[in-house]
Amino acid sequence: MKENYKNSLAGFKEIEPPAGLLGKVILAIKREEQLKKTRKLFFSFLLLLIFSLITVPYSWIFFVNQVKTSGILYFISTGINNLEIFFNFWQDFVFIIFESLPILGLITFLLSLGLCLFTLRLFLHKKGLLIKYLFHRI
């Protein structure tokens, strides 16, 4: 039985891969890994950009509402309307203005705006990779 098996396979040659096939396979694998990384980067930037663009208006509204309720506008308008009194008591006015400053609203707005600008900068900085990804898919 072994002899029949060997005789029937004697006419066939072993198929050997062409030279450089291993390199092509490794290159294709690396290309797919890079494509996966780019896809992950694209979607993370997109989600972060959407999140930051949504939070900026809400944090602005929160900041404006805190400014309205804090009374800082009253102190500033009093200082502007009565400049003589303001210059006589400028230290007290400055202290009162800083004391009534809505810190939480200001920090919230600045963080959301900073996140939005940072995301846009990263998105534009990495646009070469992202554009290649988009055109590769099309």
Per residue in 81-93, pLDDT tens? 988 888 888 898 8
Position 14: which residue type? E
The per-residue pLDDT for range 33-48, each reduced to its tens digit, is: 887 887 887 788 888 8
47, 61, 50, 38: which is closest to 109 by C-alpha? 61
Rounded percentage of the chain residues whose pLDDT exceeds 70:
77
* Residue 61 and residue 108 in contact, taking contact as beta carbons nearer than 8 Å: no
Q: Look up the pTM and report it.
A: 0.62
The per-residue pLDDT for range 46-80, each reduced to its tens digit, is: 888 899 899 999 999 999 999 999 888 888 888 88
Could you give the CA distance from residue 114 to residue 120 in angstroms, rounded to a whole number?
Answer: 10
Could you give the CA distance from residue 102 to residue 104 in angstroms, rounded to a whole number?
Answer: 6
